[in-house]
Amino acid sequence: MMVPVQERLRVDIERWVAKNGQDRSSLIPVLQEVQKKYGRISEYAMQVIGDQLGIHPVEVHGVVSFYSFLKESHKGRFDVRLCRTISCDMAGRDRVARQLENELGIGFGETTPDGRFSLEWANCLGMCDQGPALLVNEHVFTRVTPEKVHDILAQFKKMMDVNVFQQVEEH
């Protein structure tokens, strides 16, 4: 018996929510999974994700439109985006922003000379109660402090070193 696509989508979303945790910070990872498997994020998917994570559909829409813009604008290998919307602003995003600039040696809107990191602003990522929120490609970090910035970036630098050999082989 064929399972209707919506049913399959719902089951998949439930699985991804279970894997990532039934929490707002799962919004982007789950959207990424849907995009990867289904090639798009339908209205129905947004509805189910919103229901599962307790996020208003309007908010899910906002994040999806921001996310589609993200996909087209990947510049550095790691796209670092700090939310600049009001809740994160009040939660201390300026100090985090300065620390990101110091650590990466670039300003917002720029890419490191080695092409590894680009630094950009983001609009609300739907994690307003856990700000400041930071997105590095599909990885979401919440309650980011200047002290945490170094460790977060170090994870990605390490990831890159591990992948270097693989990349050389691919090219």
Where does this chain bind ligand FES (CB under 6 A)?
Answer: 83, 85-88, 124-128, 131, 133
Instruction: Compute the least distance from the CB of residue 72 to ligand FES, in Å.
Output: 21
Q: For the chain, give the number of residues.
A: 171
CA separation, residue 96 to residues 41, 113, 158, 159 (Å)? 31, 22, 21, 22
Instruction: Compute the least distance from the CB of residue 157 to ligand FES, in Å.
Output: 25
- Considering the complex, state which of residue 26 and residue 77 has its C-beta at the smaller distance from ligand FES: 26
Instruction: Compute the least distance from the CB of residue 78 to ligand FES, in Å.
Output: 19
Centre a 10 Å sphere on the Cβ of residue 77 and count the other Cβ atoms it contains.
Answer: 18
Q: In what order do the strands lie in the sheet with 78-83?
A: 110-111, 117-122, 78-83, 134-136, 139-141
- Considering the complex, state which of residue 9 and residue 133 has its C-beta at the smaller distance from ligand FES: 133
- Considering the complex, state which of residue 77 and residue 131 has its C-beta at the smaller distance from ligand FES: 131
- Considering the complex, state which of residue 124 and residue 136 has its C-beta at the smaller distance from ligand FES: 124
- Considering the complex, state which of residue 34 and residue 125 has its C-beta at the smaller distance from ligand FES: 125
Instruction: Compute the least distance from the CB of residue 171 to ligand FES, in Å.
Output: 37
- Of 83, 31, 84, which Cα lies nearest the Cα of 53? 31
- Of 31, 105, 33, which Cα lies nearest the Cα of 62? 31
Instruction: Compute the least distance from the CB of residue 152 to ligand FES, in Å.
Output: 16
Unique residue bearing structure tokens 């983001």: 122
